[in-house]
């Protein structure tokens, strides 16, 4: 028997009764009895969320069975279909009851807006570099860390989205979970990686003002890639699973996000200028970050699942961390260093901030 995986979205109004249809790939020789085994529910009493039939019968020679589901309260329920037919595939149905379908649509719209804002945010810096024919003011530590972060993020997304064996491993470990990587995530990470490579090519071709990657950044990058190499060795040796290996790349991305903005903020402060650092990039990133946090809060309210915010403090905290740095960059550009000096200045870490040396 082949039964499609259904993910109905229910609105908690009892007069609305969705109909679910289960279809067999061929006619049955004998009647089949199916039970809905609930494996996850967001409330103590799952029957308060959805009213499910105790069992479903496929009649002899039947190929289709229809049953009704009533929504009661906001929440989530995951059920696996189990039958007395050994040929039947193990199928999961996830029921999501929300406060408002309009809020669900609004959440999706917000998601697409911040996805576009984050994707477009890479282009203003490319344009700034090209028009100036210079990367003076764009910190090389930020470039190196950002490139490493999006390379690690791309490896993680591609592995979980395109490699079936890793997807199966994820579902074995998280039978009630959903693959956290979507097509949008893959496109965004690969697109960001491509733009980071363009930054590097521009840094190699245009005026650099004597900039180079600092020793501190070099050590951090060395630690990150050594960690990835050790993890790869353990995965090849069978000490850890390949899913664990991919998650190690997500940890590298998280670590990079925590530190990558610091060198650029320090450079702006030492130069008393944001010249060469595109404020368009910052404004779009700020837009995407605030909308991302807003979507998390909206979905948590609509699904009554505040674990989306407080249950994943890493994701929420990193989003908030990036937004705070965007606020700092906006303050530097529009308030603190609104009047850029006539000459572009680059400071080595060993130089005195109060006595910068001009390098044209």
Question: Which pLDDT score, from 0 to 100, does residue 92 have?
Answer: 78
Q: Would you state the torsion angle of the CA atoms of residues 160, 161, 165, 167, taken in this order, to the nearest 10 degrees? A: 70
* DSSP-assigned letter for residue 91: E
Tokens of 117: 């804002």
Q: How far apart are the first and last CA of the chain?
A: 73
Residues paired with residue 32 on neighbouring β-strands, in sequence order: 58
- CA 287 centroid distance within chain: 16
Tokens of 292: 């991302």
3-class DSSP state of 329:
helix
Q: Are strands 64-68 and 50-51 parallel, antiparallel or unpaired?
A: unpaired
Widest pairwise Cα distance in the chain: 89
- Closest by CA position to 7, among listed 78, 106, 74: 78
CA distance 325 to 318: 11
- Closest by CA position to 10, among listed 19, 1, 21: 19
- Closest by CA position to 104, among listed 304, 241, 264: 304
Residues paired with residue 64 on neighbouring β-strands, in sequence order: 23
Q: Do the Cβ atoms of 14 and 50 come closer than 8 Å? A: no
Question: Which pLDDT score, from 0 to 100, does residue 7 have?
Answer: 36
Question: Which pLDDT score, from 0 to 100, does residue 283 have?
Answer: 97
3-class DSSP state of 6:
coil
CA distance 302 to 129: 43
> Which residues in the chain belong to E strands, given as ranges?
9-10, 19-23, 32-41, 50-51, 55-58, 64-68, 70-71, 75-83, 91-97
CA distance 92 to 200: 46
Q: Do the Cβ atoms of 286 and 326 come closer than 8 Å? A: yes
Q: Half-sphere exposure of 354 toward its Cβ, with a 13 Å CA cutoff?
A: 0
Q: In what order do the strands lie in the sheet with 9-10?
A: 9-10, 91-97, 75-83, 32-41, 55-58
Residues paired with residue 37 on neighbouring β-strands, in sequence order: 80
Please list the pLDDT of the chain residue by residue as tens digits (360 residues): 444 333 333 344 333 456 777 777 667 677 778 888 888 887 778 778 888 887 887 777 767 778 788 878 888 888 888 876 655 566 778 888 888 889 989 988 998 999 999 999 999 999 999 999 999 999 999 999 999 999 999 999 999 999 999 988 988 887 766 777 888 889 999 999 999 999 999 999 999 988 999 999 999 999 999 999 999 999 999 999 999 999 999 999 989 999 999 999 999 999 999 999 999 999 999 999 999 889 888 988 888 777 656 655 556 777 888 999 999 999 999 999 987 664 455 555 444 444 444 433
Q: Do the Cβ atoms of 59 and 30 come closer than 8 Å? A: no
CA distance 15 to 83: 30
3-class DSSP state of 83:
strand
What residues contact residue 225 under an 8 Å CB cut-off, 6+ apart?
148
Kindly list the structural domains of the chain, giving each domain's residue range(s) and its CATH number in brackets, ordered by start. Answer: 9-97 (2.60.40), 101-336 (no CATH)
Q: Do the Cβ atoms of 74 and 304 come closer than 8 Å? A: yes
Using alpha carbons only, give the angle 219, 224, 229 rounded to the nearest 5 degrees.
Answer: 120
Tokens of 38: 């609930």
CA distance 148 to 249: 10
Q: Do the Cβ atoms of 345 and 359 come closer than 8 Å? A: yes
Tokens of 264: 């650029």
């Amino acid at each position: 028997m082949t039964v499609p995986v259904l993910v109905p979205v229910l609105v908690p109004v009892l007069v609305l009764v969705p109909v679910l249809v289960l279809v067999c790939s061929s006619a049955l020789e004998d009647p089949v009895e199916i039970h809905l085994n609930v494996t996850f529910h967001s409330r103590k009493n799952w029957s308060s969320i959805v009213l499910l039939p105790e069992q479903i019968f496929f009649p002899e020679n039947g190929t289709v069975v229809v049953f009704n589901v009533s929504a009661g309260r906001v929440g989530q329920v995951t059920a696996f279909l189990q039958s007395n037919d050994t040929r039947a595939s193990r199928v999961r149905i996830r029921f999501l009851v929300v406060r408002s379908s309009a809020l669900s649509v609004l959440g999706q719209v917000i998601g697409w807006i911040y996805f576009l804002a984050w994707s477009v945010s890479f282009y203003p810096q490319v344009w700034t570099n090209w028009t100036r024919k210079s990367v003076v003011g764009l910190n090389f530590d930020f470039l190196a860390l950002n490139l490493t972060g999006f390379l690690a993020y791309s490896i993680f997304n591609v592995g979980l989205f395109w490699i079936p064996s890793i997807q199966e491993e994820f579902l074995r470990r998280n039978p009630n979970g959903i693959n956290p990587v979507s097509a949008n995530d893959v496109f965004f990470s690969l697109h960001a990686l491509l733009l980071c490579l363009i930054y590097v090519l521009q840094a190699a071709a245009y005026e650099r003002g004597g900039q180079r990657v600092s020793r501190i950044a070099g050590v951090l990058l060395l630690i990150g890639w050594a960690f990835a190499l050790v993890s790869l060795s353990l995965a090849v040796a069978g000490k850890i699973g390949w899913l664990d290996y991919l998650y190690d790349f997500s940890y590298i991305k998280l670590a990079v996000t925590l530190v990558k903005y610091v060198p650029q903020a320090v450079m702006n402060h030492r130069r008393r200028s944001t010249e060469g650092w595109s404020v368009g990039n910052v404004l779009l990133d700020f837009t995407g970050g605030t909308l991302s946090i807003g979507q998390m809060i909206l979905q948590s309210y609509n699904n009554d699942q505040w674990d989306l915010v407080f249950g994943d403090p890493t994701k929420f905290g990193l989003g908030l961390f990036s937004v705070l740095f965007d606020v700092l960059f906006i303050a530097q550009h529009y308030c603190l260093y609104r009047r850029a000096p006539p000459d572009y200045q680059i400071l080595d870490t060993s130089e005195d901030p109060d006595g910068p040396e001009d390098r044209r």
